[in-house]
Structure 1
Amino acid sequence: MAKDFYGELQLGILGGGQLGRMLIQEAINYNVNVHVLDPDKNAPCRKLCNKFECGSLSDFETVYNFGKDLDLITIEIEKVNVDALEKLEEEGVVVYPQSRIIRLIQDKGLQKQFFKQNDIPTSAFQLISTKDNLKNPALSLPYIQKLRKDGYDGKGVKKIVTEADIQDAFEEPSLIEEWVDFEKEIAVIVARNDRGDVSTFPMVEMEFNPQANLVEFLIAPSLYGVEIQQRAEAIAKKIADDLQIVGLLAVEMFLTKNGDILVNELAPRPHNSGHQTIEGNYVSQFAQHLRAIFNLPLGDTRCRTNAVMINLLGENGYEGLAKYDGVEEVLAMEGVYLHLYGKKYTKPFRKMGHVCIINDDRDKAISNARKVQEILKVKA
């Protein structure tokens, strides 16, 4: 950036959740002044930033007024007012990722069309405007229905297995996509700075909670063959270059049982599939995002060791003031690192923190992680 930011740059983050919290923890090392906007007065970022503002992320005036005196704005959530960001860009405020990319990724239908137009491998799909379009769909059952907008963390997704399921389908504009018989869900995080430098983190393998459809268990690095890993990383780099994004981009993919790689969704920000990089890699995803948006040289993404990340979710059946059971027991184990998100209240499947388990022995890292899953619980 033109401005010497060490101690001077005014950085705004739209969203004050755990991603913003971990981004601030890294930004402190750069002496930048961090401003945060979030609708929750008790947001996890509220006590870590230089200035916290409670307000709507979707309101034009709120977002515009928040950003007009800042040098650079980034996001930790895509559901923000893009019209305000476009106006801020016109007035000289730098927005990374760029507003046009946020607009694209806010709409899963536009995402799928982007994949098709740029020869990015993805599952077959059809855009629909109402549930009535499912009476004669282009795809045969079973398929997945996704709301075009506002879906996140497994919300806004329905499995349509039989014709009887159609009566409970979403009424709003959505897309249906082919049911992929995948072997594993994988992800690659890629970073790109304004110079055009591009760097990927090693591919990771993910397991999802079947009830909440949230990442529950992540293993890095992947043990799949070099050819598969290189293909996945090449796809992520191509998407970053096609978008000309500045910042971090998480590319979630399916590895099918016949060896194909299909892109599922994108997230233009730090992502759940990169939390293990804090302890497991030479540079974390949060440091890499800052390097990218500050147009600095990108960091060394190699893995230091084997890392397993567990999402710490609120236990089913508990809601209220959060209580953490088993903290001392898991912290007595070798290579266990706890990250709590500063959320006062828990509810079923709410992301309350994560745990990273590292070990030079991959099997030991996995077995220790399974023990942590059994012991550490968030209740009320």
Structure 2
Amino acid sequence: MEKFYQQFKLGVLGGGQLGRMLIQSAIDFNIDVHIIDPSPNAPCANIATSFTTGDLQDFDAVYNFGKNCDVVTIEIEKVNTEALKKLRDEGVQVFPEPEAIEMIQDKRIQKTFYKENNIPTSPFILIDNKDEIKNHTDFLPAVNKLGKDGYDGRGVQVIKSESDIEKGFDRPGLLEKFVDFEKELAVIVAKNSKGEIKAFPPVELVFHPEANLVEYLFSPADISPEISKKAEKLAMKVIDKVGMTGLLAVEMFLTSDGEVLVNEIAPRTHNSGHQTIEGNTVSQYEQHLRAILGMPLGDTDIRIPSAMVNLLGEEGYTGEVEIEGLDDALATKGVHFHLYGKKDTKPFRKMGHITVTDVDIKALKDKALKIKSIVKIKSK
């Protein structure tokens, strides 16, 4: 190797909770992490080696931040890719590659990419506005997704029948045929600069019915070994076809007939991999660092079954944070809190997560459901 890893100046676009946990992992390797984020109060603001306030979609802000770094990565895909391309042309290593980020930024391009590369996914139709849904009533029920700017449950609307068309988005997007799935799965997969690829075992996701955010997940997923291998192989195929270096989260549907379909992908550390910190040999954050810095990828095996409970701001509460049920949760064996440093809450805001571990799967699920019921993020 030309440099010891701690000699790399690592820049990260985005200073949210994903960046915060990446920094916590980077400390183990003596890697200094420099952050840029539009909010001066971002979760990384007080723990990064240096923190810059700047617009991630502004060419000059991204370029001027990145030109002083050896390696630049992201914790959110809504960034200026032209600036990243210029940085790469000038010798800065940029992972994931800007072209991969561009493709994933637009769900229309993303879905077309699956079709062109024989990656199984749900049937879809590209549309330019809400009125076009009226031309495809025979395709309903379907999910209307915005092509760009959908994030954390926003930009997704279920259109069950003609009466729901007015709920659609009047911007370019797509209609995805509604999938009658048995389970929602996710696989975190990584590829380093030497082409080595490793996938974490699939996890099972449970979404909030209103916010469309992950409420909790279980690792390992309650699926057969054959389905598990199929999901892992599919995730490895996707990252190989995308041609990116780094970490890729692949969200999937498992249908009742055993088919595994790719739903969406994210070119970064992801909510569906939080539990790897306590539950797996290597965490998704360490794996991302290993991938972008050219290290050998780590062992993804499950050390102990785990569950992740998302801590979302309760409906009807806005303001300074107060956590209800904290002591009861901490008194439960196998419970580990991860709070994101956000001082103020609002409905459905991601405020933290709790990992629960247990060698017994039934006990694990019981504890996770109990934790979900007693811990509430409210305001004073």
| TM bin (shorter chain) | over 0.9
Distance 1:276 1:163 in 2: 40
Task: Give the superposition deviation at 1:69.
Answer: 1.2
Distance 2:33 2:2 in 1: 16
Partner deviation per Cα, 1:286-322 (whole Å, 9 max, x = no partner): 0000000011111010001110100000011100011
Tell me the secondary structure at the aligned position of residue 300 of structure 2: coil
Distance 2:11 2:4 in 1: 13
In the other structure, the counterpart of 2:193 is 194
Residues 1:122 and 2:124 aligned together: no
In the other structure, the counterpart of 1:289 is 288
Distance 1:38 1:139 in 2: 44
Letter in 2 for 1:109: R
Task: Give the superposition deviation at 1:165.
Answer: 1.5
Task: Give the superposition deviation at 1:223.
Answer: 2.4
In the other structure, the counterpart of 2:270 is 271
Q: Relative to structure 2, which stretch is displaced further, 350-359 or 163-172?
A: 163-172
Task: Give the superposition deviation at 1:168.
Answer: 2.7
Task: Give the superposition deviation at 1:175.
Answer: 0.6
In the other structure, the counterpart of 1:110 is 109
Task: Give the superposition deviation at 1:375.
Answer: 1.1
Partner deviation per Cα, 1:40-60 (whole Å, 9 max, x = no partner): 110000111110011111111
Letter in 2 for 1:135: K
Tell me the secondary structure at the aligned position of residue 373 of structure 2: helix
The alignment's C-alpha RMSD in Å is 1.0
In the other structure, the counterpart of 2:344 is 345
Distance 2:2 2:49 in 1: 19
Letter in 2 for 1:64: Y
Distance 2:37 2:7 in 1: 23
In the other structure, the counterpart of 1:215 is 214
Residues 1:355 and 2:354 aligned together: yes
In the other structure, the counterpart of 1:150 is 149
Letter in 1 for 2:369: R
In the other structure, the counterpart of 2:299 is 300
How many positions carry a matched residue from both structures? 379
Rate the CA distance shift 1:139–1:187 in 2: closer, same or farther, 3 A: farther
Task: Give the superposition deviation at 1:240.
Answer: 1.1
Task: Give the superposition deviation at 1:103.
Answer: 0.3
Residues 1:23 and 2:22 aligned together: yes
Q: TM-score, normalised by structure 1?
A: 0.98
Distance 2:208 2:363 in 1: 22
Work out whether residues 195 and 295 of structure 1, in 8 Å CA contact, stay in contact via their aligned partners in 2: yes
Q: Relative to structure 2, which stretch is displaced further, 157-166 or 272-281?
A: 157-166
Letter in 2 for 1:190: V
Q: Which runs of 5+ in 2 are unaligned?
A: none
In the other structure, the counterpart of 1:255 is 254
Letter in 2 for 1:238: K
In the other structure, the counterpart of 1:57 is 56
Distance 1:167 1:320 in 2: 33
**Runs of 4+ deviating beyond 2 Å:** none
In the other structure, the counterpart of 2:166 is 167
Distance 2:196 2:6 in 1: 25
In the other structure, the counterpart of 2:316 is 317
Distance 1:362 1:270 in 2: 25
Distance 2:246 2:108 in 1: 22
Distance 1:322 1:98 in 2: 37
In the other structure, the counterpart of 1:82 is 81
Task: Give the superposition deviation at 1:138.
Answer: 7.8
Distance 2:11 2:105 in 1: 20
Letter in 2 for 1:246: T
Work out whether residues 15 and 45 of structure 2, in 8 Å CA contact, stay in contact via their aligned partners in 1: yes
Distance 2:219 2:33 in 1: 31
Partner deviation per Cα, 1:12-69 (whole Å, 9 max, x = no partner): 0000000000000001112122110001110000111110011111111111111011
Partner deviation per Cα, 1:159-211 (whole Å, 9 max, x = no partner): 11121221231111101110000011001110000111000000111100101
Q: Relative to structure 2, which stretch is displaced further, 20-29 or 322-331?
A: 322-331
Distance 1:320 1:254 in 2: 36
Distance 2:86 2:129 in 1: 32
Q: TM-score, normalised by structure 2?
A: 0.98
Letter in 1 for 2:350: K
Partner deviation per Cα, 1:249-285 (whole Å, 9 max, x = no partner): 0000000112111100000111011000000000000
Tell me the secondary structure at the aligned position of residue 322 of structure 1: strand
Give % identity: 55
Work out whether residues 145 and 158 of structure 1, in 8 Å CA contact, stay in contact via their aligned partners in 2: yes
Distance 1:9 1:294 in 2: 8
Tell me the secondary structure at the aligned position of residue 136 of structure 2: coil
Work out whether residues 125 and 139 of structure 1, in 8 Å CA contact, stay in contact via their aligned partners in 2: no
Q: Relative to structure 2, which stretch is displaced further, 185-194 or 125-134?
A: 125-134
Distance 1:7 1:238 in 2: 31
Task: Give the superposition deviation at 1:118.
Answer: 0.6
